[in-house]
Amino acid sequence: MNETHNSDLRVIGMRGCEDMVSQVDYYLKDWHETSETFITKADLPRFGSGEAKGHILQSMRGQDVYIISDCFNYGVTYKMYGMNVPMSPDDHFQDLKRVICAIGGKARRISVIMPMLYEGRQHKRTARESLDCAVALQELIRMGVTNIITFDAHDSRVQNAIPLAGFDNVRCTYQMIKALCKNIPDIKLDRDHLAVVSPDEGGMSRCMYYSSVLGLDLGMFYKRRNYAIVVDGTNPIEAHEYLGRDLHGKDAIVVDDMISSGGSIIDVASQLKQRGAERIFVFSTFGLFCNGLERFDEAYNDGIFTKIFTTNLIYRPDALKQREWYAEVNMCKYISYIIDTLNKDHSISDLLNPVTRIHSFIDRRNAELAAKGEM
C-alpha cells in the first residue's frame, strides 16, 4: 500500500456517512503516507418546501471519485414546512443523483459505493409491478457512473439490468468469521461442534459459501407461506420447516442478508433450540430492526439466541449498539482496500473472494489454540 499519493482520488460521503468516510480517509492517508485528506465535501441544502440541490465544494475535473451512500439512514432528517422529517431511501437516492449531477460530467470516473442496494428487495417482477432496483441502476449508469459496488445484494442477478457497466457484489464472510472468533473465544469451527443454517431457500448460496469454506454441515428452513392473502405487501409465513442433519449438542450460525422485522430470524432460532442446538449466532450484513429491539431483548432473555452480528455498513442507532446481544462488524478498512485498489486500476478479485485469507486466519487461530492446549 506504500505507493505514491495519487492526487486524483476523491471520496464523497453522503449525509449520514460521515463516520464511515472519516475512517476510510484515515486508512487511505496512512497507506499513501500523506496528511492531505481525500474527502471532498458536498453540500445538500433544502428549501422550506423540502426541495433540495447538490453543491460540490471543489472542482472534480479529472478526478477519480468514490461516492459512499447509505440509503437506509433514517437517523438523518431535514426540515419541510417546519417539520423535522426523517430521510427515506428515496430521499437518499435523490440526493445521490444530485451530487452526481453537481459533478457535471467533469470527473474522470465515478464509482458509487452503496452498501445496501437501493430497492434491492424489489429485484424481480412477479405481477404488474415496478422494477425499482433495475431502473435505479440504469439511471445511475446513464448519469455517468462507471462502477457500482454493493455488499451482499439480496439478489445479485439484478446486475443483468446493466450488463455493460461495472457491478461488484462484496460479501462480508471473512470479517464475520473474525468477529465471531473475537467475541466468542471458545467457538470451535468444525463440523462436530458447529453447523450453518439458512433461514430460507433464497439464502442458500451465501450459506453454502460459509459451509464450504469452513467445512461445516449445512441446513435450511423452508418458508411455508399462505399465498391466499397479502399482509404488508407480502404473503405471511405460516411455518418454517427444517431440512438438515441433527443439531443436538452443536452451535449454529444462521446467515441472512438482512434483519427487517426480525420475526423470521427469531422463529428460526427458536426452532433450532427445539431441535437441540446449543448456542445460536446470527450473521446479518444489514440490521434494519424495523419494528424495534424489544422482541430481540425478549428472545435473548429467553435464551433463544446468543449473539447477533451485523456490519456498520448502514445506520445503527445507539440503542442497538448498547445491547448485550449485539456485536458490530467494522467494514471501513475493507472499503478502503476496495477504493485504493480500484484507484490504482488493479483487480479486486482477491478482495471479492477471501477464501485464502479465511483459511490463513483459521490456521493461525488453530495454531494459537493448540499452543494453549485448547484444541
Q: How many residues does the chain have?
A: 375
Residue 33 CA to residue 41 CA, distance in Å, equals: 22
Cα dihedral value 93, 88, 160, 219, nearest 10? 140
Give the cell for residue 295: 422482541
Strand order of the β-sheet with 326-329 is 237-243, 217-225, 194-198, 251-259, 280-287, 307-311, 326-329
Buried/exposed code over 292-312 (b: 16+ C-beta within 10 A; e: otherwise): ebeebeebbeeebbbbbbbbb
User: How far is C-alpha 161 from the geometric centre of its chain's CA atoms?
Assistant: 21
pLDDT digits (tens, 9 = 90+) for 292-346: 999 999 999 999 999 999 999 999 999 999 999 999 999 999 999 999 999 999 9
| In the block, residue with C-alpha cell 458509487 | 112
Cell numbers given for 1: 500500500
pLDDT confidence of residue 7: 65
Which residues have a Cβ under 8 Å from the Cβ of 131 and sit 6 or more positions away? 122, 123, 124, 125, 161
Q: Going residue by residue through the chain (375 aa), what tens digit of pLDDT does each one get?
A: 444 445 699 999 999 999 999 999 999 999 999 999 999 999 999 999 999 999 998 999 999 999 999 999 999 999 999 999 999 999 999 999 999 999 999 999 999 999 999 999 998 888 889 999 999 999 999 999 999 999 999 999 999 999 999 999 999 999 999 999 999 999 999 999 999 999 988 889 899 999 999 999 999 988 777 777 887 777 777 767 888 888 999 999 999 999 998 888 999 999 999 999 999 999 999 999 999 999 999 999 999 999 999 999 999 999 999 999 999 999 999 999 999 999 999 999 888 888 999 999 999 988 888 887 766
DSSP secondary structure of 171-221 = --HHHHHHHHHHH-TT---STTTEEEEESSGGGHHHHHHHHHHHT-EEEEE
The Cα 10–Cα 63 span in angstroms is 7
Q: Quick one: cell of 236?
A: 405471511
Distance from the Cα of residue 307 to its chain's centroid: 18
Specify whether the CB–CB gap between 224 and 240 falls below 8 A. yes
Angle subtended by helix axes 355-371 and 173-183, to nearest 10: 20
Classified as helix, coil or strand, 82 is coil
What are the tens digits of pLDDT across the range 301-310?
A: 999 999 999 9
Tally of CA atoms within 13 A in the half-sphere of 366 that contains its CB: 10
At residue 46, the 3 state secondary structure works out as strand
Residue 2 is predicted with a pLDDT of 43
Quote the pLDDT of residue 188. 92
CB atoms inside a 10 Å sphere around CB 89: 18
pLDDT value at residue 318: 95
Sign of the torsion angle spanned by Cα atoms 328, 329, 333, 337 = negative
